[in-house]
Amino acid sequence: MPQRLLLAAFLVAYFVILCVLSVRAPIDKDFFPDEKWRLTLPLYFYEHGSLPTGYEESTRMTPWGFSYASYPLMLSTVLGGILMKIMGLVTSNINWIVFAGRLVCIGAGVVFAYFVIRISALLFDRPISYLFASTVIFLPQIVFCSLYFNNDIIALCGSSMILYSWLLGFKNGWSIRSGILLALGVSVIALSYYNAYSWILMSIFVYFLIWHRSSDSFVSLFQNRRFYRMTFMIIGIVLVLILPFFIRAAIINHGDFLGFSTVSRMSEQYGESNYKPAGRPTPQHLGMSLWGMLTTNHYLGGTNSWLLFTYRSFIGVFGPMKVFLPQIMYILFGLIFAIGVVGCIAGTILDAVHGSYGERGYFDAVMLCNMVIVIALALQYSYATDYQAQGRYILPMVLSFMYFVMRGWSYALNAVDAAAKRKELVYLLCGGVIGAECCLVIISFVAYYLPAVR
C-alpha cells in the first residue's frame, strides 16, 4: 500500500479513536482540566450569536473571578461556536453540542499528528523518524489534550505547522507554500496560547537565517524583490487573521489588547480572597526562592514537587490533574528521554570535537532557545502569578525537546549499527520501543479513562 494511503488510513483511524474517547467523556463530571470554564465561551457564542466580552457573569470563573474571554485568544472559541451552531441545527442535546465544540481540538490533534509525521521524515532517516513520530503522537498527555476543548492542542498544531515550514525552507528555500504555512502557523499560535509565543519569536530569526543562506550578504538580501514580496505576503496574512481579535480586545478592555491587566483587575474585583492577585499564596508572596518552589511539597503534598508533578503531567495525568498513569509509563518514557538526552549530549560533543557539527548548530540553537523560553514562562507564572505544576504548560516545547531526544537515539543506534553491523537490529530496537509505547498508551486509557466515564 502506498505511503500516502497508509498515512491517510492512520489519520482517519486516529480521528475515529479520538472521537470515540471524546464523546464518551461526560460534561458534568469535571473530567477535563479547565474545560468547564473554557466551554462557556463557545457556548455563549452558540446561545447569543456573538463572542463574549469577559464581563458576562456566566463566563467568569469561580473562584478566580476572571474570564478567558478577556484575552484575544479566541480562535478555538470562534471555530467551536460555529461547529456548535451547526450541530444545533441537528439536535438540541447538550452532549452532542459540546462534542461539536470538542471537534476543534480533535481536528487539531489530527492535524498535529499529520505534521509531526511529515516533520519526522525531514528530520531523521528511518527508523528514527518512526520513533520520533510515535513518541510525540502517542505521548499520553497529547492524546488527552486532543479529547476536550482547550487551547493547548491548538497551539501544538500551530507549532507543528511552523516547524514544518522551517524545514521546508531549510531544504528548498522559502516558497509560496512554506511561506503561507508559516503565516498560518504563526496566526494559530498568536490566537491560542501565550506560552507558545516562543515559536513566533524564533520564526523571525529562522526566516532571516534561511534567506541569508541563499544570499551573499544582508545587503544583497535587502535588494531582493522576492524577499520583500514573500515578507509582505506573510505579514499580510498574519495581520489579516489576528488583528481583528487584538483590536476587539483593545476596544473591550480599554486599550489592554493582551488582556493581562483586565484579568488581574477582574480577579481582584470578583475573585475570592485567596484567589485575588494581591493575596494569592504564590511562592513569591510566601518568600520562597525559585529552587524552593521547584522542590517544595507545600502545594501538592506527599512527595510531589513542581519538578516531579510537571514531569509526570508532561507525560500524562488525566482528569482534573488527579488521575495518574501506571508507574511503568513514567519509567518507560523517562528512560526514553534519558537515553536520548545523554546520547544527544555525547554525540554533539563528539561532532564538535571532530568538526562535523556544521550549520546544524543554528537550528539546534533555535530549538534550545525555544525550550528555554517555554520553561521560563511556565516557571515565572508558577512563581509570581499562580502556582501551576502542570506539564501542559510546557507542552509547547515538545517538538523541540523530542528533536534533541531523538538526535540522541540516532547517535546511540548508529553506534549499535556500527558495532553489530546489523541494520535489522536497529529496526528491531525501534520497533520494540514503538510497540511498547502503543501498548502502554492503550492500557492507560482503558484502565484509567474509560472506567472513569462509565
pLDDT in tens, 329-380: 899 899 999 999 999 999 888 888 777 776 788 899 999 999 999 999 999 9
Alpha helices in 24-174 (DSSP H): 35-38, 40-48, 75-88, 94-123, 128-137, 140-145, 152-172
Give the single-character DSSP code of 64: T
pLDDT in tens, 390-427: 999 999 999 999 999 999 998 888 887 666 666 777 77
Closest-CA residue to 242 (of 114, 75, 115): 75
- Degrees (nearest 5) of the Cα angle 162, 203, 358? 100
Higher per-residue pLDDT: 72 or 279 = 72
- Degrees (nearest 5) of the Cα angle 53, 56, 59? 90
Q: The dihedral of CA 158, 163, 166, 167: what is its sign?
A: negative
Most confident of 169-173, 189-193, 290-294: 189-193
* 132-150 average pLDDT score: 93
Query: What's the confidence (pLDDT) of residue 453?
Result: 46
Cell digits of residue 42: 463557545
Residue corresponding to grid cell 463572542: 51
Closest-CA residue to 69 (of 271, 275, 248): 248
> Does 78 have pLDDT greater than 60?
yes
By the 10 Å C-beta count (0-12 exposed, 13-18 middle, 19+ buried), 212 is classed as middle
pTM for the model? 0.94
For the chain, the domains span: 3-267+284-453
- Secondary structure (3-state) at 318: strand
- Secondary structure (3-state) at 446: helix
